[in-house]
């Protein structure tokens, strides 16, 4: 269900937010840090999204990339792909935008407590998963083993490179990454993300797998998770690419009788098997 906002807040009325930092990530991706003008916290869960608006241009749904444990501001990692996102990429520090939300159900972090968590991120699927990874990192004692797999098409498309290096150095988590094709600068794994599965071990009955990436990746990663014995209700996926208005009015995200923005964007594989058009 849509997150319930306070009585004074409207589903349709944006709150103002100030852009406090912009940092390039790759050729078409940047991370934007915002602070709500009313001084309040965004109040999100990992896996939720907001609607960001540029007045006179439009509005777009964007996954939240920062953990709720980050106080005073929040981060949105954005790829420039359309009118709104291209305009966002031209903003400078100090600009004002509108924010609605957070919306969506987010990842079921309460179910992850005391369980092992396997996170599989493909390309910009890392954007919402970064929120979950950092949340687990900041509450490390509440969770079991943490394994993160990240794959992208080429080394130049790697995201949050400094953080990737840091994750690889932690002793209380396992991090592996791969690229589909390499150049002379790359000395790591080469191949699609499923080629990393033989390199990791886990107890499937005690593991939640969280998968976000391009649709073509889902089919093969789900098959790998099932083959490894992870129960279907412990395989978690996000359909965040289907979002539009965020409140179930436009119908853009509707799959049969399900509105993804309200009942998702996070679903279990067991749930999505009943929605044949979903994955």
pTM of the predicted structure, to 2 decimals: 0.90
Any idea of the CA torsion for 125, 126, 129, 135, to the nearest 10 degrees? -170
Domains of the chain: 15-103 (2.40.30.10), 109-272 (3.40.50.80)
Query: In the sheet where 49-54 sits, what is the strand order?
Result: 58-63, 49-54, 96-103, 15-24, 29-36, 74-79
Q: What's the pLDDT band for 184 if we cut at 50, 70, 90?
A: confident
Res 265: pLDDT: 80
Give the tens place of pLDDT for each residue, 230-262.
Answer: 999 999 998 865 555 555 555 555 565 565 656
Burial class (CB in 10 A: 0-12, 13-18, 19+), 134: buried
Which region, left, alpha or beta, applies to residue 203 given φ > 0 means left and ψ of -120 to 50 means alpha? beta
pLDDT mean across residues, the chain: 89
What residue has token string 């493909």? 122
Residue 2 has pLDDT above 50, yes or no: no
Residue 108 has pLDDT above 80, yes or no: yes
Give the tens place of pLDDT for each residue, 58-106.
Answer: 999 999 999 999 999 999 999 999 999 999 999 999 999 999 999 989 9
Res 251: pLDDT: 56
Res 1: pLDDT: 46
Nearest 5 degrees, angle CA 234-CA 236-CA 242? 155
In 37-173, beta strands by DSSP E: 49-54, 58-63, 74-79, 96-103, 116-122, 146-152
Q: DSSP label at 194?
A: G
């Amino acid at each position: 269900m849509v997150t319930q906002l306070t009585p004074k807040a409207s589903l349709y009325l944006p709150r103002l937010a100030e852009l406090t930092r912009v940092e390039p990530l790759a050729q078409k991706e940047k991370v934007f840090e915002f602070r709500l003008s009313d001084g309040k916290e965004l109040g999100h869960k990992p896996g939720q999204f907001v609607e960001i608006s540029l007045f006179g241009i439009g509005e777009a749904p964007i996954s939240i990339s920062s953990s709720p444990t980050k106080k005073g501001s929040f981060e949105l990692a954005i790829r420039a792909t359309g009118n709104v996102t291209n305009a966002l990429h031209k903003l400078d520090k100090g600009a004002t935008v509108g924010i609605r939300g957070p919306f969506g159900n987010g990842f079921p972090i309460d179910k992850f407590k005391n369980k092992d968590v396997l996170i599989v991120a493909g390309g910009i699927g890392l954007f919402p998963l970064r929120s979950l990874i950092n949340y687990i990192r900041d509450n490390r004692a509440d969770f079991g083993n943490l394994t993160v797999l990240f794959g992208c098409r080429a080394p130049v498309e790697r995201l949050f490179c400094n953080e990737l290096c840091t994750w690889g150095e932690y002793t209380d988590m396992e991090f592996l990454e791969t690229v589909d094709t390499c150049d002379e600068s790359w000395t790591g794994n080469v191949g699609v993300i499923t080629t990393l599965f033989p390199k990791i071990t886990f107890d499937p009955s005690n593991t939640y797998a969280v998968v976000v990436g391009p649709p073509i990746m889902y089919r093969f990663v789900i098959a790998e998770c099932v083959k490894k014995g992870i129960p279907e209700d412990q395989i978690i996926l996000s359909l965040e690419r289907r979002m539009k208005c965020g409140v179930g009015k436009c119908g853009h995200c509707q799959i049969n009788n399900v509105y993804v923005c309200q009942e998702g964007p996070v679903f279990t594989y067991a749930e999505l098997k009943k929605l044949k058009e979903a994955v």
